[in-house]
Structure 1
Amino acid sequence: MTKISINKIAELAGVSKTTVSFVLNGRGDEKNISQKTQEKILAVARENNYKANYIARSLSLGKSFTIGFIVPDISNPFFGKIAKQIETVAEKKGYSVMVANTNEDVLKETNIIESFKARQIDGIILASASKNYNQLTSIIGKDYPSVFFDRFLPNMNKPFIGINNFETAQQLTELLIQKGHKKIALVSITSYLPNIVNRINGYKDALTTSEIGVNEDLIFEIEPTDIKNGIKQVISNMVEGENPTTAILFLNNVLTAEAIWTVNTLYPEYKDQLDFASFDNLDLFDYSTPRVISALQPSEDIANLAVNMLCDQIDNNNQHEGIQLDTSIITR
């Protein structure tokens, strides 16, 4: 197949060669070219199998036109949805995306960041497993383009996109209380992270306000490397006592899905007696028992904002303030 030229793309798209060049070099926004025109040019290029000379392009502009996306668990559907949307948005801006998984391992995260920088990746979008922002900053570098999401760290002065964790946990717990539950457990991982701390505090506030009170024995933390066995142990402790727990708030959807499997497989007699609430949502929750009230995080908005904020740092050296988004509660 004959390689299509920029001149031919311009002719097919009905625009100038210069406009095509700007868009294919990821400078469409910078040159105030409309999204409609950019998408039309990129569509024509894709349909005709246009292949840019990325090496020459990178050398001439001093960019790799690649961004990194680093998450603790890419198998988590929440991170998977964001990754998919980030690829879509980045592609429209002329960037490819390199995805990496840390498994909540800070050393692995450090090695990935250093590897990305050595490969001259233009910037990163990161949900960090680190406890120490100063240490993380020294690895990333003060001026290296980066956007954080989901996990906030104290003293963070980089762009951050998060949700209203305290209020969401408070609301989920209140909904369980309104269903008549008085013994409500909480299950989490990585409880040292500030966003998880805020979720735990929201749960505690709802219990305190309702006068049920907080029972620390009902707050459990699961090892992220052994979720299946951890959930089995927690569910066993909850249902086999003299006064069984009747509701559980899970701080992510992976924990919730594992708990649904555990109850249905090992304790089916309890599946209609329990109510669950969960951060994040899964299609599974629409038809599963125990029933699940879930907090839907705006993954598409998070991805769009993250790419736009990162590209603005890369292209224009512009920094952005942190953004807090609201969740949507799905009751069942």
Structure 2
Amino acid sequence: MKPSLKTIAEQAGVSKTTVSFVLNGRGEEKHISTETQRRILETAHRLNYQPNHLARSLSTGRSYTIGFVVPDISNPFFGKIARLVEAYAEELGYSVMVASTGERADKERMILEAFKNRQIDGVVLAPSSGESIKYTSDMPLVCFDRVFSKETGNTVDVNNQETAFLLTERLINKGHRRIALISLSSFLPNIAARIKGYQEALEKNNLNLDERLIKDIDEKEKNRDVVAAVSELLAMEEPPTGFLFLNNVLAAQGIWTINQLFPHLADSLHFASFDNLDLFDFALPKVTSALQPSERIAQESVKMLMHQIEHRHAMNGVCFSTTIIDR
């Protein structure tokens, strides 16, 4: 039998009205403490309380659904963030609709328009372009990973430039003087910042920037392009011995390339990667990586979105530091 609000209230030690506010997503609006909200939600979950979503939506004017839109949900970084966003949103009584854009601005716009037509309450977005954000002007939005503008607030970012600088310098400190950069489209703000960090590290350590060591990878053909780029670099008269990959998917393909085509070089090369994979713990070449704080990114994204849904105004953006894992 479905538990009543009275039963939940009694077991949580609060009033029925407080339970109603929390289960209808109005806890913040009514200034109910985070601890009290947590206790009510845990009690409701333990008692297997199933809300009447239709009645709830009619009474509050909300769908209690948010969107999560990223370029590629199969990317381990985005997949982990998706699972965490779903968990945090579920604690607040929201479900999550997930979509991938394939780095296509036109598809991103279609997805955002479809979400608006379904009257979802807001979106957590890793945008493929700054243009797409215009289509969400009347819908709560939080941008993470790719921050095209910090002026509007509601952004969750990491210290991309500093991290790329530190990764490049780790390779330099290990004795590498020829360091290749395996990059993606530099029009993305996070990628542009990482490229700048790489360049600054070379300059600080009095190493010349050799444009031939920088390879741009096509997102749609990344597996093929990484193989071609690494092979071309290693065929140079003075080949690089260090490689900085600007995301973990590129680094994983680089590891495959070395082990399949150049296994005799696996011990002499050293990789650095933005973001981490468990694979890096036992892979050759060794990989120094930057771990992004996935839990904090997901939690802050949900927190910002819920604040905007409740209060209809933005919070200040945040920028988290990464953790360098030296191998």
By the TM > 0.5 criterion, same fold? yes
> Any idea what the Cα deviations from partners look like across 1:36-60, whole Å, max 9, x if unmatched?
3323322232233221111111111
Question: For 1:184, which of 179, 184, 187 is the aligned residue?
Answer: 179
C-alpha separation in 2, matches of 1:269 and 1:33: 62
- 1:255 match: secondary structure: helix
Instruction: Return the offset for 1:204.
Output: 0.8
Match of 1:256 in 2: 251
Match of 1:313 in 2: 308
C-alpha separation in 1, matches of 2:195 and 2:280: 22
- 2:219 match: secondary structure: coil
- Is it true that 1:139 corresponds to 2:135 in the alignment? yes
Judge conservation of contact 1:147–1:309 (CA < 8 Å) in 2.
Answer: yes
Structure 2 residue identity aligned to 1:316: H
C-alpha separation in 2, matches of 1:155 and 1:292: 32
Over the matched positions of the two proteins, sequence identity in percent amounts to: 53
- Is it true that 1:90 corresponds to 2:73 in the alignment? no
> Any idea what the Cα deviations from partners look like across 1:93-152, whole Å, max 9, x if unmatched?
22111111111111111110000000001111110011xx3x3243112x3210111112
**11-20 or 206-215, which moves further after superposition?**
11-20
Summarize the alignment of residues 202-213 of structure 1 with structure 2, pairs less than 5 Å apart.
Answer: 202-213=197-208
Instruction: Return the offset for 1:222.
Output: 0.9
Judge conservation of contact 1:27–1:93 (CA < 8 Å) in 2.
Answer: no
Instruction: Return the offset for 1:155.
Output: 7.1
C-alpha separation in 1, matches of 2:33 and 2:192: 42
> Any idea what the Cα deviations from partners look like across 1:202-225, whole Å, max 9, x if unmatched?
101111221111011111111111
> Any idea what the Cα deviations from partners look like across 1:286-312, whole Å, max 9, x if unmatched?
111111111111111111111111111
Judge conservation of contact 2:108–2:132 (CA < 8 Å) in 1.
Answer: no
C-alpha separation in 2, matches of 1:265 and 1:34: 56
Judge conservation of contact 1:238–1:245 (CA < 8 Å) in 2.
Answer: yes
Summarize the alignment of residues 165-180 of structure 1 with structure 2, pairs less than 5 Å apart.
Answer: 165-180=160-175
Match of 1:26 in 2: 25
- Is it true that 1:162 corresponds to 2:161 in the alignment? no
**308-317 or 24-33, which moves further after superposition?**
24-33
Match of 1:48 in 2: 47
- 1:295 match: secondary structure: strand
Question: Structure 1: which 4+ aligned runs deviate by more than 4 Å?
Answer: none
Match of 1:227 in 2: 222
Summarize the alignment of residues 252-291 of structure 1 with structure 2, pairs less than 5 Å apart.
Answer: 252-291=247-286
Structure 2 residue identity aligned to 1:195: N
Query: TM-score with structure 1 length normalisation?
Result: 0.94
Structure 1: 5+ residue stretches without partners = none
Judge conservation of contact 1:146–1:158 (CA < 8 Å) in 2.
Answer: no
Instruction: Return the offset for 1:32.
Output: 3.0
**23-32 or 119-128, which moves further after superposition?**
23-32
Query: What is the alpha-carbon root mean square deviation over aligned residues?
Result: 1.5
> Any idea what the Cα deviations from partners look like across 1:63-95, whole Å, max 9, x if unmatched?
111111111111112112211221122122221
Query: TM-score with structure 2 length normalisation?
Result: 0.95
Instruction: Return the offset for 1:158.
Output: 4.1
Q: How many residues align?
A: 327
Judge conservation of contact 1:122–1:145 (CA < 8 Å) in 2.
Answer: yes
Structure 2: 5+ residue stretches without partners = none
Summarize the alignment of residues 187-198 of structure 1 with structure 2, pairs less than 5 Å apart.
Answer: 187-198=182-193
